[in-house]
Every structure is written in structure tokens, then in C-alpha cells.
Amino acid sequence: MFGKRTDVAAKPANQPEPGFGDEVAPQNQVVPIRALPDSPAPNLDDADRVSQVQGPQSRDDLIDKAIALAQPFIADRISDTESREMERGELAKRIEDTVVEACQAGDLDIEKHQVRDAVTFLINETLGRAKIPGEHDAAPAALSPVDAAKERVQSVLLERIDVAKANQMPRAELARQIGDIVTEILTEEKIQLNLAEQRELVTALLNDMLGLGPLEPLLADEAINDIMVNGARQVYVERGGKLELTDVTFRDNAHVMNIAQRIVSAVGRRIDETSPLVDARLADGSRVNIIIPPLAIDGPSISIRKFSEKKITLDVMARQKNLSEAMARTLKIAARARLNILISGGTGSGKTTLLNALSQMIDHGERVVTIEDAAELQLQQPHVVRLETRPQNLEGDGEITQTELVKNALRMRPDRIILGEIRAGEALDMLQAMNTGHDGSLGTIHANNPREALTRLENMVAMSGVKLPNEAVRAQIAGALDMIVQVSRMRDGIRRIVQVTEVVGMEGEVITTQDLFNFKFTGEDADGNLVGEFEKAGLRPVFSERADYFGLGQALLEATL
């Protein structure tokens, strides 16, 4: 009964329909399922644990002082026994009150968000101090019938199947055969599930074996933009620009590692102690970053920026109030007129989304070469060559960087080069490409404003190892770049284009710029959304003559003046 199963019994009467719409699997087929590692549950902090705030070296002085002031009060007022028995919300409230009182007593002026950061640190410190050595996690919430059945069925299922050909059978065939075996196991174990629950159980088992396990429902939710796994017991998502803690959990850290291995192996990369961080992508194009112990202290961390099948255009962004109609028209003209545009912004601010929207203005007769660490751009043009960097192999050889790909791209007769993110020495090669006939090139950079973007670009040129005078570097930047677009995810969760800036030229040793548009914050509505205006500077764009060349000069003046 528990040997390797090499055939499939006739389907019992209460067998759920196979494959959820998939075709019927051939009979007498070995079930090739990869077994998941069976590891003991790790010794984690409580299931609702908030991620440890960054170490003291990165917290600002006010938060450090608030923590130092509050620690003696907390030690005096909250015993270890109380910490263990108290609800987390009640503990957080008492610690917050103590921090506020300690700061007032110490005459320390501190902002509300800084209090929150100090409270987060102190909660973790208090719970860590109160934890009994060898104590395991608090008892998890009651499992749903399907989750409870899955825990009992999965191990028995893996004993009855052949795992040698784990990824060789299509999901449709696996669904049929697993459904048969699961029905037998449910009968033997006297587990009562209705038809819908049986379907859900088979889906969950397939997700664990072939997909990304507990993350599959989150990947299928179109309202979710980002998925953040912080160890086995904490999964956050971003929905509508705001972070939410989900009820999704993994069995243990080994389960998270299994999912991480499955992601990276699909794109020919590896994740282990010798290579503990990696950028990858899912089959649908979603971008993934994975970092594991010893670099990630509390267990493997997986960050997924989901691929959106909806094609965002500048017109759609204007309707969503991400920018004004006049800004959208100006950016369309800038892309049509082949300006070299740098998109600047913070993490998650929408740089790649804007880059995709601008790229839709590229003529379909042009040859475009894209360069990325993990390919995620969604260009609609027919003539696109996508290049992706390669990490080192096990021997430490074979790495291909963005710098090398930019140099190679220049030999590929591109009309435009699009660099997913400028982060190091490839900045110099990109500037040289922009200065040598590859007009209309695009790129993104992490910076807080256009002036800082120019400074960061200058610093990155220095990282190339080529010794150039500062004046020469700035002249190269001023000659190459035409426009910087600053994007920001604001505190109401909405991403907005807050600044459109032209690079005018040089005055002495300084790169001169002029703003064409700015977002001016004016208040907040009843729903907590920020209210503001996209203001025109009323200046004639420097590239208006170039727009005239493309027959767009009058439209540009109407949009900007």
C-alpha cells in the first residue's frame, strides 16, 4: 500500500473532477512529484513578529535616545512574565505610552513615526528577553479544515508516489492522478471534506509541488503589487500602495528555502550559503529578490515585484492622477522627439512602470536593446533585443555585468538603449552611448530629486575606474541627458510624478537645469488622500526646437506654457 505507485486505480465516486478544467491524464503513468524536505519547525519568534528594525548604526540619533530613555522604565514596569502573557497589542500600547512618557521626562522632542520605530525595536527586545530558553512559537491559530487535512495527507502522499520525475509531467496529468490518491488517503484517514474542500486540497498540494506553495493565491490576486516574505511566519503584501500583513505562512524556514530554490533554478541561478542573495524572475516576468541566512538573520526573505498584464500608458496614468494631462503630453512629445530621459525615484515609486509607459512612444521601426539585472521591462515594439546580466558560477567565474552588456549593445546597431537601472560603472558607457548617436535612450536611477540624480550619476561614473576630471564628467552628463523625471510614492500610497526637469547645459562647473512641472501639495481630503496641483513652470522648453524638427513644437508649447 505504501510502495511506489506506478499505476492509477479507478476513480472513486467522490473523486473531484480532474485538473480543474484540465484534460484527462493517461493511465498507468508514474506520478512524478518532487518531495519537499521534512524539517522540524524552527524556533521562531511569535507569529505576528514585526521585522527587526535596522541596527543601531542606521537608526537616527533621536530614535536611539528614545530607546535608551525608555529601556529602564520598561524593565521596571513590565516583567518577563507579563510580557509573555500579555496580548501583543496591549504590550505595544504600554510600551508606546512608556516611550512617550520617557521622552517627555527627558525633554526629547520626537516625531510620531520615530516613536513607532522605537516601539517596534523595544517590543522585539522585550519579547526576546522574556522568552524561555528552548521555548517554541506560540500556538498557531486554528487551522482550516483544508490546511489541517493537508498536514496529515501530504506526508502519506509523498510515500506513495515516484519523485524521480518531479517536473516532467504537465500539471493537468498530475491533478488527475493526485486527486485519485488523495481520495484514497482521505478515506483511510477518516478525514471528512466536501467536494469543494477536496478541490482546494489538491490545488494546495499541486502548488507546493509545482508552484510557489502558499504564495500562489497572492500571485493570482491582481490587486497585489508586491509580496514580501520575512521568514516562515510573516508575509506582507502591498495593496493600493499600502502594506498589509497576510495570514499566509510557511511550514518552516526549510519550506521557504524550497520555494526559493525552485524560483532560482528555473532561471539557471543558485541560492546557498556561498551565494546568499540573488535577483531572479518568475515565468510571468515578475521580479524576485531572495536573501537567505547568514545574511538574513530571521530566515529566508523573498521579495516579489509582480508582473502586471495590464499595459499602463501615460493616458491611464493621467486618469489615475499620477500626473496631469499637460505632463503626459509633454512626456509623450519628449519620447517621440528622442530625448535621452532619466527616471529618478525611490524603491517602489513606479520607475519601471513609467519607463514602460514612455517606451510605448518608440517607433516600431526602431531597434531597441534593453539591459537589466532581471528582465522585467514590457516593451511592445516588434524589434527588441533583451539582455540580462549573469552572476558568477560555483567557481567564481563567468560573471557578466551591466557594464559589459552596455559595451556589447553598442556593437549591435541599436537605435535606442534602455538600461533598467543605472547603479554602477555602466553609467559612463551609457552616457557615451547617449552622446554618440543613440538618442532616445532611457534609464532609471535611485535618487530623491533631479539634482541628486545628477550627483549620483557623477559618482557612478567614478565607479567605472576611468579617471576623468569632474568638469569633464559633468560636461558629459550635460551633453548626454535631456530630461529627468522624478517619481515618488507618497504617504497616501499613490505614486505621482512630482517633477519634470530639463537639463539645460553648463554654467562654469555646474550643470544647469530648469523645472517644467512640479507637484505642489496643498492638503488632505476626508479619505486620507493627499491633495495637490501639478503646476506648470510656464517656461519655454529648451528642446522645443527639437520638437519642431519632429513636427511637435506647437503641441509642446501648448502643453508647457
pLDDT of residue 493: 83
Cα separation, 31 vs 37, whole angstroms? 18
- Boundaries of every domain in the chain: 61-130, 211-309, 314-560
pLDDT of residue 142: 57
Contact 236, 230 (CB under 8 A): yes
- The 10s digit of each residue's pLDDT in 77-105 is 888 888 777 777 788 788 888 888 888 88
Of 275-284, 360-369, 500-509, the one with minimum mean pLDDT is 275-284
- 513652470: which residue's cell? 537
What cell numbers appear for 388 in the block?
Answer: 540580462
Is the per-residue pLDDT at 174 higher than 80? no
Question: Is 314-560 in the same CATH topology as 211-309?
Answer: no
**Residues contacting residue 553 through CB under 8 Å, at least 6 positions apart:** 544, 545, 547
Cα 279 vs. chain centroid, distance in angstroms? 10
**Residues contacting residue 547 through CB under 8 Å, at least 6 positions apart:** 333, 337, 541, 553, 555, 556
Cα separation, 165 vs 180, whole angstroms? 19
Is the per-residue pLDDT at 392 higher than 80? no
Section 242-249 average pLDDT: 88
Of 161-165, 223-227, 300-304, the one with minimum mean pLDDT is 161-165
Is the per-residue pLDDT at 273 higher than 70? yes
% of the chain exceeding 70 in pLDDT: 84
Section 183-194 average pLDDT: 86
Handedness of CA 136, 139, 144, 145 (dihedral sign): positive
pLDDT of residue 513: 94
Q: Exposure string (b/e) for 171-180, b if CB count within 10 Å is 16 or more?
A: eebbbbbbbb
**Among candidates 184, 201, 87, 202, which has minimal Cα distance to 144?**
201
Pairing of strands 442-446, 416-419: parallel
Is the per-residue pLDDT at 30 higher than 80? no
> Bigger pLDDT: 418 or 437?
418
Contact 292, 257 (CB under 8 A): yes
pLDDT of residue 539: 92
Fold of 314-560: Rossmann fold (3.40.50)
pLDDT of residue 334: 94
Q: Given pLDDT bands bounded at 50, 70 and 90, which one contains residue 152?
A: confident
Q: Report the amino acid identity of residue 75.
A: A
Section 507-521 average pLDDT: 93
pLDDT of residue 169: 67
Total Cβ atoms within 10 A of residue 323: 25
Cα 452 vs. chain centroid, distance in angstroms? 23
Q: Is 389 helix (H, G, I), strand (E, B) or coil?
A: coil
Q: Considering the chain, what is the average pLDDT of its residues?
A: 80
What cell numbers appear for 159 in the block?
Answer: 510515500
Q: Is 346 helix (H, G, I), strand (E, B) or coil?
A: coil
Of 42-51, 294-303, 353-362, the one with minimum mean pLDDT is 42-51
Cα separation, 345 vs 495, whole angstroms? 10
Kindly compute the dihedral angle of the four CA atoms of residues 197, 199, 203, 206, in this order, to the nearest 10 degrees. 120
- The 10s digit of each residue's pLDDT in 246-260 is 988 888 888 898 888
Is the per-residue pLDDT at 45 higher than 60? no
pLDDT of residue 60: 55
Question: In CATH, what class is 211-309?
Answer: alpha beta
Is the per-residue pLDDT at 216 higher than 80? yes
Radius of gyration of the chain (CA): 28
**Among candidates 516, 520, 519, which has minimal Cα distance to 560?**
516
% of the chain exceeding 90 in pLDDT: 27
pLDDT of residue 394: 64
User: Which whole-number Å values give the CA distances from 536 to 215, 326, 359, 542, 548, in the listed order?
Assistant: 44, 8, 24, 15, 21
Section 345-371 average pLDDT: 89
